[in-house]
Structure 1
């Protein structure tokens, strides 16, 4: 214990004490195992005390003691009940420590309590405190590694929606874990809720593609792994083949833009029924808080229009996107947005759809002029 107390800790004071209490609990579990049960009984009662600091200390100790709960018997049930009850505590520290404790049980017990743990995670993914959200999404990844389909299926769609919301979080660790957990969910997307989950996949797909070249390396890796996981769920084989290319795994910007052109062709050729939904999501990302994601959205959106042979797509999006590109090039303060906007503008102007768009504009102009001439002749 002396070594634990002597450690130099770099966290803030509160985190230092929380970590210290957890370390001491782990040491007691190893050195004085016979005393752990009686200590845990006291700590379970301490979770109900009015003092916030006492509850935080109790949660820190219990979340560590529970790792050594193989022989606790009925005491474990009491500990789980207390931890579950306090995941709604007013202290975010208590909330995240209680959840962490539930997940740190020996695997055999985690399986036994999976339904309760997943229910807690669903609630805490929406927590207003980022540290709790990060704990929840990290714990979800751990639990999904051993959960049965029967346990996950009732919350599959709820988890999907909440993870999609976290994929636009400014915290890169939360963002990376949210993408990774969405990929882990794909293992459970083949049951009775397959069609509903597939809709969630398609709703998340454009954002996943855009964050394959996120500024954060951890997010990139998570997105690549998730892309590989959900590619078999998408409705054609070409998407799986893309994951085996150098362009997919490269961190070079030029390779990524080549990949975006490849995937835009796949969208245009094989997923015409989904293009409207995809385009709405991609255009929305023009205003993402990250310049690199704006640039990715600009290039992907323009590529889809350029490679699509569907006149509906050209008529609906060409002029809108053209105007947005002009605005981005002239007003954006970020070099990557301006440069990518110029590239995308060139892509649109060189495309076959450029001619059809010009013809459509000329036809509408001619119609307007003819209408005015007829009005003049009547006068």
Structure 2
């Protein structure tokens, strides 16, 4: 009994101390000196997790943190955001909309460290957010994440791809068609970065591709469970790209021109491996597509770019991919020409036969 009484007394003392400290920190974050605000934000962001039993205190702390996510100091902005995602789980639903709006704003922050914090916090908050909180800003989040997927920062790329996959849990109902458009806009980049230089980015892209696959409603599950999809060998990646391209050509013919446009842009990506991936993916589309409109739009352009890349690129993987792709394109265009000529002959024969039949 004495032990229980002592435990209760200590708990009351600790609770009172926590309240006092949190109140002091909430006021200190308003100090004029930058280093004072940074110190207060660092401490306050940690104490938020202990405020679950004090509703009014938590409200004050959240208000203070939200107010300072626009602080001139990137350190304060990042720390305040970290604090907001530390809100106890029993209260997070109450503040989810507010926290998500802060994250959305900071995904556009001019400081890369703040952007990275925002992406990391988005991954955290999405695990405990409701559809009602995410749905109003779903498309805005999608667009901002797409912009961050080409960051030179490996952690940023990985988290931006992973967060897009997490958003797929909310792209349902009235948002389904709009979110599907975001998927198609991002799909070429996702395919290119499945063979990123960084292994963690590769895995994030694989996971995200599996998460968005149900929206596309085509038979790709076998491809995503294949050895080639999960392999880190270049030849397996190329096999995966060919298999997936066949599905795209068959099921998404109206999307091919936008896929090609996005992929050609990646010819100038800052990573040689992504340039090589873009070269192979675009060549696969042209070789496997029978659409004369697509071929007339892109064949000459891609062929010319590959010739330039082959002669000017300093990277062996780019030159090697250009060489093999040029051979593939030449072979395929001869095949396309042969099939086109054969079809013209068949049509000519059919019309001639029908004309003779009419005369009789």
- TM-score, normalising length: structure 1: 0.84
1:135 equivalent in alignment to 2:122: no
Q: Deviations over 1:79-125 (max 9, x none)?
A: 00000010000000000100000101111111210000000000000
- Distance in 2 (CA, whole Å) between partners of 1:111 and 1:140 is 14
CA contact (8 A) 2:275 2:318 kept: yes
After superposing on structure 2, the runs of 4+ consecutive aligned residues of structure 1 that deviate more than 3 Å are 29-33, 352-355, 357-360
Residue matched to 2:172: 190
Match in the other structure for 1:226: 208
Range that drifts further, 350-359 or 173-182: 350-359
Q: Does 1:324 align with 2:305?
A: yes
Separation of aligned partners in 2, 1:202 and 1:176: 19
User: How far is 1:240 from its partner?
Assistant: 2.5
Partners of 1:198 and 1:32 lie apart in 2 by 51
Three-state SS of the structure 2 residue aligned to 1:289 is: coil
1:39 maps to what in 2? 21
Quick check: 181-190 or 42-51, which moved more?
42-51
Q: Is 1:314–1:357's contact at 8 Å kept on the other side of the alignment?
A: no
**Between 156-165 and 69-78, the greater mean CA deviation after superposition:** 69-78
Structure 2 residue corresponding to 1:211, chosen from 193, 202, 212: 193
State the shift of 1:153 in Å.
Answer: 0.3
- Determine whether 1:90 maps to 2:72: yes
**Which one of 57, 61, 83 corresponds to residue 75 of structure 1?**
57
Q: What stretches of structure 1 of length at least 5 have no aligned partner?
A: 1-28, 361-379
Q: What does the per-residue CA deviation read over 1:276-317, in whole Å, with 9 as the maximum and x for residues that have no partner?
A: 110000000000111100000000000100001111111111
Offset at residue 358 of structure 1 (A): 12
Contact 1:314–1:353 (CA under 8 A) maintained in structure 2 = no
1:239 aligns with 2:239: no
- Runs of 5+ in structure 2 lacking a partner? 1-10, 342-360
2:265 paired residue among 284, 307, 311: 284
Shift of 1:140: 0.4
Are the equivalent residues in 2 in contact too, given 1:114–1:147 (CA < 8 A)? yes
SS of 2:72's partner is: coil
| Change over 3 Å in CA distance of 1:38–1:301 after alignment to 2 | same
Q: Which residue, 262, 274, 291 being the options, matches 1:310?
A: 291
| Distance in 1 of aligned mates of 2:173 and 2:271 | 36
Change (3 A) 1:231 1:35: same
**Residues 226-375 of structure 1 correspond to what in structure 2 (within 5 A)?**
226-236=208-218, 238-352=219-333, 355-356=336-337
1:30 to 1:224, Cα distance in 2 relative to 1, 3 A: farther
Deviations 1:16-37 (A, max 9, x none): xxxxxxxxxxxxx999443111
CA RMSD, 1 decimal: 1.8
Change (3 A) 1:30 1:158: farther
Query: What is the aligned partner in structure 2 of residue 12 from structure 1?
Result: none
